[in-house]
């Protein structure tokens, strides 16, 4: 049986938002499952001794230009969050804890979180916003808060961050296909090519 594609991503990353559905479709087309591993990119960088690249003026200027352009290219609705650079730890904990109980919610919940932040302009660091996401309403607000604050979500997120730092994740999104890393939404064609039998010359 073919290995799943693992996707490491930060919910505060617009490029992860752009890549999620195309990668899910690509994986399905190649008979692969997609495993979602939310992380906190700032924590991965800290573990690797790397600073925040967006603190460099030239990188931030390019980012501000490229993100709306990339949204238009991918044909998805988008508004730049204000503030953009937040810690998405509550959303990541919720996702890890919720899919531990309901694996079928992995994609719907990720889509809801991304839409809340990058389309609706909502604060995904707000517990009430997270409790109101469509895919978790059935759990009830009290259960959602327990998922956000509980040991399971915290532990799973910490393990994902440690794993990401250990394998050399360098940004978000970062897909691992048969042990090989692909960084960025613009690597989707290469992933498609690799899964279709493309080989790197020796």
pLDDT in tens, 140-185: 999 999 999 999 999 999 999 999 999 999 999 999 999 999 999 9
The pLDDT score that the predictor gives to residue 83 is: 84
pLDDT of residue 75 exceeding 90, the answer is yes
pLDDT one-digit tens code per residue, 6-48:
999 999 999 999 999 999 999 999 999 999 999 999 999 888 7
Q: DSSP code of 78?
A: -
* Residue 6 near residue 167, CB atoms below 8 Å: no
Q: In what order do the strands lie in the sheet with 180-183?
A: 34-38, 5-9, 174-177, 180-183
| Cα torsion 55, 59, 65, 67: sign | negative
**What pLDDT sits at residue 49?**
79
Sorted by where each begins, the domain ranges of the chain are 5-195
Tell me which CATH homologous superfamily contains domain 5-195.
Glutaredoxin (3.40.30.10)
- Find the mean pLDDT for residues 195-200: 90
Q: Given this model, what pLDDT does residue 144 score?
A: 97
16 in Cβ contact with 10 (< 8 Å)? yes
**Inter-helix orientation angle 106-118/14-29, to 10°:** 150
Q: Active-site positions?
A: 13
| pTM exceeding the 0.75 threshold for the entire prediction | yes
With contact defined as beta carbons under 8 Å apart, do 192 and 24 qualify?
A: no
Cα(184)–Cα(174) distance, integer angstroms = 6
pLDDT single digits (tens) 85-144: 889 999 999 999 999 999 999 999 999 999 999 999 999 999 999 999 999 999 999 999
Task: Determine contact, residues 158/46, Cβ cutoff 8 Å.
Answer: no
Segments in 9-150 forming alpha helices (H)? 14-29, 41-48, 57-74, 89-101, 106-118, 127-131, 141-149
CA separation for the pair 29, 52 (Å, rounded): 35
Question: According to the model, what pLDDT value does residue 13 have?
Answer: 96
Task: Return the higher-pLDDT residue of 20 and 2.
Answer: 20
Distances (CA, A) of 191 to 8, 19, 25, 27: 15, 12, 12, 9
Alpha-carbon gap, residue 103 to 33, rounded angstroms: 12
Q: What is the structure's pLDDT at 185?
A: 96
Summarize the confidence of residues 41-66 as an average pLDDT: 86
Whole-number Cα distances in Å, 68 to 6, 78, 83: 26, 7, 16
- 178 vs 82 pLDDT, higher one: 178
Residue-level pLDDT at 1: 60
């Amino acid at each position: 049986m073919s290995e799943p594609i693992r996707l490491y991503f930060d919910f505060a990353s617009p490029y992860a938002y752009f890549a999620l559905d195309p990668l899910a479709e690509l994986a399905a087309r190649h008979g692969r499952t997609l495993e979602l591993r939310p992380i906190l990119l700032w924590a991965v960088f800290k573990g690797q001794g790397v600073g925040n690249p967006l603190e460099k003026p030239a990188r931030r200027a390019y980012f501000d230009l490229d993100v709306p352009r990339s949204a238009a290219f991918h044909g998805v609705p988008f508004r730049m969050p204000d503030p953009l650079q937040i810690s998405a730890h509550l959303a990541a904990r919720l996702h890890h804890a919720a899919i531990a109980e309901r694996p079928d919610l992995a994609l719907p919940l990720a889509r809801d979180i991304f839409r809340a932040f990058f389309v609706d302009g909502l604060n995904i660091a707000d517990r009430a916003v997270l409790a109101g996401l469509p895919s978790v309403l059935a759990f009830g607000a009290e259960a959602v808060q327990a998922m956000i604050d509980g040991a399971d979500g915290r532990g799973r997120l910490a393990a994902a961050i440690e794993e990401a730092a250990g394998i050399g994740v360098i940004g978000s999104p970062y897909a691992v296909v048969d042990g090989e890393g692909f960084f960025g939404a613009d690597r989707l064609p290469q992933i498609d090519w690799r899964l279709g039998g493309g080989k790197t010359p020796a």
